[in-house]
Chains A and B, each alone.
Chain A
């Protein structure tokens, strides 16, 4: 299992990028899946930095059943992104909320996303099925 402990600030997206691409290569994901994993990780981390009030966050990656799993753990306020509604693209762009877009990308670019609250921490786990 690979693990990355992070400070809660946006500058960490640089380390998150390196971690995501390294994990993707190690798992044998194709280039496109590596790109998508990078995006998912950046959006998840940016949401924690911008909205959670957390003081610590970490990423873990592991492989199981032909899938790559990644979990994002933070000690911020309880927040379940799986319950967050899909953005409404029918409303005028000026009135759209950009805040929910990150969750939308995580949902669309992964094969599953699950949430749990464990020991006072948010744990978001995503799964990407490896393409042969």
Chain B
């Protein structure tokens, strides 16, 4: 699992690569912490190279959504693969995030 965060104007883009399982989620939580420490950006989680996510990984997305909601900024998921998208959908997450292709 690799995570890279870049700033793009008023957006913070987090690129996730690999598999986000119970073990990877522990390190990912630390890597994504900066997203929860800002108050003036929309957040884009780019899932182009995210090949797998379990409910442990979804917790991190809930944290991002809750933070963005509290500061009145947008939460966006981009380039999500079909299998990962289905996991979001079954978990009731697609109604929380905006999707970008």
For B66, give the chain A residue with the smallest CB separation: A94
Q: Are B92 and A39 in contact (CB under 8 A)?
A: no
Q: Report Cα–Cα, A109/B55, bound state, in Å.
A: 13
Nearest CB on B from A55, distance (A): 19
- Give Cα A13 to B20, complex, Å: 11
Selecting from A70-78, A96-104, A113-121, A124-132, the interface stretch reads: A96-104
Q: Given A13-B22, A35-B52, are A101 and B91 also a contact pair (CB < 8 Å)?
A: yes
Q: Are the C-beta atoms of A43 and B90 separated by less than 8 Å?
A: no
Interface residues on B, range: 20 to 34
The chain A residue sitting closest to B96, CB to CB, is: A93
With A35-B83, A38-B52: A104-B90 Cβ-Cβ less than 8 Å: yes
CB within 8 Å: A-B pair count: 54
User: Is B27 close to A, CB under 8 A?
Assistant: no
B49 to chain A, nearest CB (A): 15
User: How many positions in chain A have a CB within 8 Å of any CB in the partner chain?
Assistant: 25
Chain B 46-77, CB-CB to A under 8 Å as 1, else 0, gives 00000010111011001001100000000000
Shortest CB–CB separation between residue A51 and chain B, in angstroms? 13
Q: Which residues of B contact A (CB under 8 A)?
A: 19, 21-23, 52, 54-56, 58-59, 62, 65-66, 83, 87, 90-92, 95-96
8 contacts between A and B (CB under 8 A): A36-B83, A39-B52, A39-B54, A42-B21, A93-B66, A94-B66, A101-B58, A104-B90
Top 9 A-B pairs, shortest CB-CB distance = A89-B92, A101-B55, A10-B22, A42-B54, A13-B22, A35-B83, A108-B90, A102-B55, A13-B21
